[in-house]
Amino acid sequence: MSRQVPLSGMIKRVTAAELYKIFAQFKYRLIPFGMALVPIILLLLNQRSNSLIRFSPENLPYTLLSIAATILLPLVACMLAADLFAGERERGELKISLTRPVSRTALAIGKITAILTYLAGLLVILMVLSLVVTIVSGVAIGQLNGLHIVGAYLLTLLPLAAVSAAAALASTLARSATSGFVLGIVLLVVLNGLALAFPSISSVFFTEYAGLYKNIVGAEVSWTPLLIGVGLLLGSMTVLTTTQLLVFDAKEV
């Protein structure tokens, strides 16, 4: 007798459960507030005449997106991945999920989807607040290209998905939440470092595409670099997720 349980349903249930767990923890409820402070702090700094940080208010949504995509959100992704994979195994909580009627594949994909959903929520907060701050700074709504801004934020989900997959892989390899977090950060730093050290081959590292959105915000869309970036990110995501699934599947708890 064989009875298959649909994978999509399992992933959906795992994602919902993981998001519930994430938001049940105080630190992850606090992060969106911290993230919301970033545009406000930038606005205050920009208003001070002796401030070192100066930017043109109409570019604030992109300035913030750049900071978020390269520093803030990868850090959050590593933190979440460390908690949901290595941390749960360390604390024995993974056993609870693994003995529920979901496959390991669904469990791993559901966790990564939950991480990405949380990051997407943070991006929405940043985008809305950056627009508010831009308007408060005196920029007319008509001067802002809303479509480009929304497109840029949406497109940034792609490099963030690759970062989440890498962080999940690092955390799956680690023994504890702390080492999972550190390993995730080290992996991203090393990839960035390699790209800096070897500029001729830097385009093969997915970390180079955090600024993929720049291809769509100019006067014209730069299709060739955009498509190369999308292809490389999708390829990296596939490789990283497959490797992570294989490692996760082989882990004995």
Give 26 or 33: the residue with its C-beta nearer to other proteins: 26
Binding mask 74-113 for other proteins (x = CB under 8 A): --------------x--xxxxxxxxxxxxx--x-------
Phi, psi (deg, nearest 5) at residue 75: -65, -45
**27-52: buried (b, 16+ CB within 10 Å) or exposed (e) per residue?**
ebeebbeebeebbeebbeebeeeeee
Does 247 engage in binding with other proteins (CB under 8 A)? no
Structure tokens given for 241:
């997720």
Does 178 engage in binding with other proteins (CB under 8 A)? no
CA angle 196, 202, 208 (to 5 degrees): 85
Give 41 or 253: the residue with its C-beta nearer to other proteins: 253
Give 106 or 162: the residue with its C-beta nearer to other proteins: 106
Does 5 engage in binding with other proteins (CB under 8 A)? yes
Give 107 or 162: the residue with its C-beta nearer to other proteins: 107
Q: What is the DSSP string of 114-145?
A: HHHHHHHHHHHHHHHHHHHHHHHTT--GGGS-
Does 252 engage in binding with other proteins (CB under 8 A)? yes
Structure tokens given for 4:
């298959």
List Cβ neighbours of 216 (8 Å cut-off, separation of 6 or more): 148, 151, 152, 155, 222, 226
Which range, of 6-14, 62-70, 140-148, 181-189, touches other proteins by CB under 8 A?
6-14
Binding mask 12-51 for other proteins (x = CB under 8 A): -xx-xx--xx--xxx-------------------------
**Count of residues that interact with other proteins, criterion CB under 8 A:** 33
Give 6 or 138: the residue with its C-beta nearer to other proteins: 6
* CA distances, 64 to each of 12, 53, 128, 151 (Å): 31, 13, 11, 14
Residues 162 and 157: their CA atoms lie apart, in Å, by 9
Output the smallest distance, CB 88 to other proteins, in A: 8
- Residues near other proteins (CB under 8 A) are 1-5, 9-10, 13-14, 16-17, 20-21, 24-26, 88, 91-103, 106, 252-253
